[in-house]
Structure 1
Amino acid sequence: MHEILVLYYSHRGSVRALAEHIAAGIHQVPGAVARVRTVPRVSAVCEAVEDDIPASGPPYVEVADLEECVGLALGSPTRFGNMAAPMKYFLDGLAGAWLNGALEGKPGCVFTSSSSLHGGQESTLLSMMLPLFHHGMLVLGLPFSEPALGETRSGGTPYGASHVSGSEGDSAPSAEEIALAQAQGRRLAEVAMRLAGSR
Structure 2
Amino acid sequence: MSEPYVLVLFYSRNGSTREMARQIARGVEQAGLEARLRTVPAVSSECEAVAPAIPEEGALYASLDDLKHCSALALGSPTRFGNMAAPLKYFIDGTSNLWLTGALVGKPGAVFTSTSSLHGGQESTLLSMLLPLLHHGMLVTGLPYSESALLDTRGGGTPYGASHHTGSDGKRPLDEHEIALCRALGKRLATTALQLEKGRG
Fold conserved between structures, TM > 0.5: yes
1:17 to 16, 19, 35: 19
Aligned: 1:62 with 2:63:
yes
Q: Deviations over 1:142-162 (max 9, x none)?
A: 000000000000100000000
Q: How does 1:96-107 map to 2 (within 5 A)?
A: 96-107=97-108
Distance 1:96 1:175 in 2: 40
Under a length normalisation based on structure 2, what TM-score does the superposition of the two structures give?
A: 0.97
In structure 2, what is the Cα distance between the partners aligned to 1:15 and 1:48?
21
> Which stretches of structure 1, 4 residues or longer, exceed 4 Å deviation after superposition?
none
- Are the counterparts in 2 of residues 9 and 75 from structure 1 also a CA contact under 8 Å? yes
Residue 166 of structure 1 corresponds to 167
What percentage of residue pairs aligned between the two structures are identical?
61
Name the Cα RMSD after superposition.
0.9
8 Å CA contact 1:156, 1:180 repeated in 2? yes
Deviates more, 1:111-120 or 1:94-103: 94-103
Aligned-partner SS, 1:19 = helix
Paired residue for 1:143? 144
2:188 pairs with 1:177: no
Aligned partner letter, 1:11: R
Shift of 1:140: 0.8
Kept in 2: contact 1:154–1:177 (CA 8 A): yes
Deviations 1:66-106 (A, max 9, x none): 11110000000000100000000001111111111121110
User: Contact between 1:106 and 1:137, CA under 8 Å: does it hold in 2?
Assistant: yes
- Could you tell me which runs of 5 or more consecutive residues in structure 2 were left unpaired when the two chains were aligned: none
Does residue 189 of the first structure (1) align with residue 190 of the second (2)? Answer: yes
- Following the alignment from structure 2 to structure 1, what is the Cα–Cα distance between the partners of residues 96 and 153? 38
Residue segments in structure 1 that go unaligned for 5+ positions in a row: none
Matched, 1:39 2:40: yes
**CA 1:46/1:71 → structure 2, altered by over 3 Å: closer, same or farther?**
farther
* Partner Cα separation in structure 2 for residue 22 and residue 137 of structure 1: 19
Letter in 1 for 2:62: V
TM-score by structure 1 length?
A: 0.98
- Following TM superposition, by how much is the alpha carbon of 1:46 offset from its aligned partner in structure 2, in angstroms? 6.2
Q: Pairwise mapping of residues 99-118 of structure 1 onto structure 2 (< 5 A)?
A: 99-118=100-119
